């Protein structure tokens, strides 16, 4: 099955992801109705297509990094047959859009729980995590090197909620606030991911020598080598940003795969896609001490 056919099947069955309110769109970590202490007793089905390069990268990351439950790979056809079963969780890629968007612009890596609610589409299933993955139609493969980190981020969230249900209700802010603890490390910013004119001198002054303005290749190398004491930037935005669509900004520790910063903003003429001036200033505070 081709990538296009897979997407068409998901669209017909799932109606894809339709975020109906700003609140829903804002939270990538689902606000849990229970603490998932029984997660390890259930099987996680990874919905994938063995002829799709992105899915192959996802499958490799799951094989080497998924530790907290039994897992298997399944096709979209198998997913359709199994989706109502509450004994399964499903990890899959879906295209998502906001209500006012004409078409989907961002693809997400989503973990949901099986159940009868799936009859009304994935957006009605119990959601645990929806991580922005890449722009719809992105064939650069940039996301491949981040898949192991995404798998770890998802598992860490489940374990966090299992230990403390309150963390599920804090939502994204629990992860955003982690930047306060990172001041001894070095950040590699991909200049292409910064949404305003910035120079190496600007970064040097703000971060006191603890940040580098570089490119995607440097970030990829740091992730591949699990570089110690190093944080890497990742911005996920539509391939053709439009006013009203959203840009997601993340910082990931290259050694531990922990997410240490997360924010998103609505794209406008004043706030283009990518890290904003406010983001950079906010991130720089712990590095100025």
**Domain-ending residue, one of 121, 155, 189:** 155
| 230 lies in some domain | yes
Task: Retrieve residue 125's tokens.
Answer: 């299933």
Q: Which of 94-98, 197-201, 263-267 has the lowest mean pLDDT?
A: 94-98
Whole-number pLDDT of residue 99: 62
Residues in the chain: 289
**Does residue 130 sit in the same domain as residue 234?**
no
What percent of the chain shows pLDDT beyond 90? 64
* pLDDT band (50, 70, 90) for residue 284: very high
Q: Give me the mean pLDDT over the 26-43 stretch.
A: 66
* pLDDT band (50, 70, 90) for residue 5: very low
**Does residue 17 sit in the same domain as residue 84?**
yes
**Does residue 180 sit in the same domain as residue 232?**
yes
**Does residue 20 sit in the same domain as residue 88?**
yes
CA distance 147 to 140: 14
CA dihedral sign of residues 250, 218, 108, 148: negative
Q: Give me the mean pLDDT over the 142-158 stretch.
A: 94
List, in sequence order, every residue forming a beta bridge with 98; answer none if it has no partner.
19
CA distance 125 to 87: 13
**Does residue 146 sit in the same domain as residue 178?**
no
| 164 lies in some domain | no
Q: In total, how many domains does the chain have?
A: 2
| 254 lies in some domain | yes
Model-level pTM? 0.86
Q: How many CA atoms lie within 13 A of 176 on its CB side?
A: 16
Q: Give me the mean pLDDT over the 171-181 stretch.
A: 72
**Does residue 127 sit in the same domain as residue 219?**
no
Antiparallel, parallel or unpaired: β 246-253 and 230-236 = antiparallel
| 160 lies in some domain | no
Q: Are 100 and 244 in contact (CB under 8 A)?
A: yes
Range of the domain at 210: 173-288
* pLDDT band (50, 70, 90) for residue 234: very high
| 8 lies in some domain | yes
**Does residue 26 sit in the same domain as residue 146?**
yes
**Does residue 17 sit in the same domain as residue 147?**
yes
Q: Are 157 and 129 in contact (CB under 8 A)?
A: yes
Q: Which of 35-39, 51-55, 172-176 has the lowest mean pLDDT?
A: 172-176
| 163 lies in some domain | no
What percent of the chain shows pLDDT beyond 70? 80
**Does residue 232 sit in the same domain as residue 281?**
yes
Whole-number pLDDT of residue 287: 95
**Does residue 148 sit in the same domain as residue 9?**
yes
**For residue 139, what are the contacts with CB-CB under 8 A and spacing of at least 6?**
none
* pLDDT band (50, 70, 90) for residue 129: confident
Select from 144, 157, 145, 158 the least CA-distant residue to 226: 145
Task: Retrieve residue 194's tokens.
Answer: 């910064």
| 253 lies in some domain | yes
What is the layout of strands, in order, in the sheet containing 186-190? 211-214, 186-190, 230-236, 246-253, 259-266
Task: Retrieve residue 17's tokens.
Answer: 């992801």
**Does residue 19 sit in the same domain as residue 133?**
yes
| 281 lies in some domain | yes
CA geometry: angle 177, 146, 1, nearest 5 deg: 130
99 Cα distance to chain centroid = 20
Higher pLDDT, 64 or 26: 64
Whole-number pLDDT of residue 16: 34
List, in sequence order, every residue forming a beta bridge with 266; answer none if it has no partner.
246
**Does residue 280 sit in the same domain as residue 203?**
yes
List, in sequence order, every residue forming a beta bridge with 214; answer none if it has no partner.
190
């Amino acid at each position: 099955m081709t990538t296009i056919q897979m997407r068409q099947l998901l669209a017909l069955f799932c109606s894809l992801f339709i975020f109906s309110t700003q609140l829903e769109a804002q939270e990538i970590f689902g606000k849990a109705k229970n603490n998932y202490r029984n997660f390890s007793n259930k099987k996680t089905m990874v919905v994938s297509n063995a002829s799709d390069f992105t899915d192959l990268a996802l499958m490799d990351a799951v094989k080497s990094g998924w530790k907290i439950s039994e897992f298997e790979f399944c096709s979209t056809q198998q997913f359709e047959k199994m989706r109502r079963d509450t004994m399964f969780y499903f990890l899959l890629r879906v295209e998502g859009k906001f209500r006012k968007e004409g078409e989907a612009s961002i693809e997400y890596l989503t973990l949901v729980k099986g159940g009868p609610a799936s009859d009304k589409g994935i957006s009605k299933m119990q959601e645990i995590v929806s991580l922005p993955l890449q722009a719809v139609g992105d064939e650069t493969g940039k996301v491949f090197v981040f898949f192991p980190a995404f798998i770890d981020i998802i598992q860490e969230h489940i374990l966090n909620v299992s230990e403390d249900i309150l963390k599920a209700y804090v939502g994204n802010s629990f992860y955003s606030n982690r930047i306060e603890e990172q001041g001894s490390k070095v950040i590699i910013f991909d200049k292409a991911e910064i949404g305003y004119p910035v120079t190496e001198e600007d970064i040097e002054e703000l971060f006191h020598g603890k940040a580098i303005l570089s490119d995607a290749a440097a970030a990829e190398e740091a992730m591949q080598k699990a570089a110690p004491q190093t944080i890497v930037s990742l911005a996920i935005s539509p391939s053709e940003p439009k006013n009203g669509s959203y840009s997601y900004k993340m910082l990931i520790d290259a050694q531990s795969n922990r997410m240490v910063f997360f924010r998103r903003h609505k794209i406008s003429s004043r706030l283009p896609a990518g890290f904003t001036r406010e983001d950079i200033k906010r991130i720089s505070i712990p590095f100025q001490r």
